[in-house]
Amino acid sequence: MYYKRWYDNNENLRGIIEALKITPQGNLEPIALDIVQLMLEKQPDADDFLEITNKNFISDKHRWYDRNYMFHSVMEMLKHLSVDEIEKLLREMFSPVSYEI
């Protein structure tokens, strides 16, 4: 039986997550820290957001991102945002900087 992951429901989001999946483990922590910082900047009440995510923190240690504690935390936090919010946040994080000529 095939179970869809929470990020499989959006093609763009799935692509971003799949790209992160092949990122070397040593590079995930700095990426995770940047995502957390950006995520918290966008929350109207960061303390409430952190409290909600900590209450619902599930760790089954069988997924690719469970091998890195910081990135595991990011993935758990992202679950509490809408797919549109996650996609926008990750696009902002990973899209190249554009300059006006």
Rounded CA gap, 24 and 83, in Å? Answer: 25
Rounded CA gap, 31 and 41, in Å? Answer: 15
Give residue-wise pLDDT tens across range 10-20. 888 888 888 88
**Token pair in block for residue 34:** 């940047």
Q: How high is the pLDDT of residue 1? A: 45
CA dihedral 61, 63, 64, 65 (to 10 degrees): -70
Give residue-wise pLDDT tens across range 34-81. 888 888 887 777 777 777 666 655 666 678 887 777 888 888 888 888
Q: Give the predicted TM-score (pTM) of the model.
A: 0.70
Phi, psi values for residue 91, rounded to 5° = -65, -45
Residue 89, classed as helix, strand or coil, is: helix
Q: How high is the pLDDT of residue 3? A: 57
Q: What ranges do the domains of the chain cover? A: 28-94
- Amino acid, single-letter form, for residue 93: M
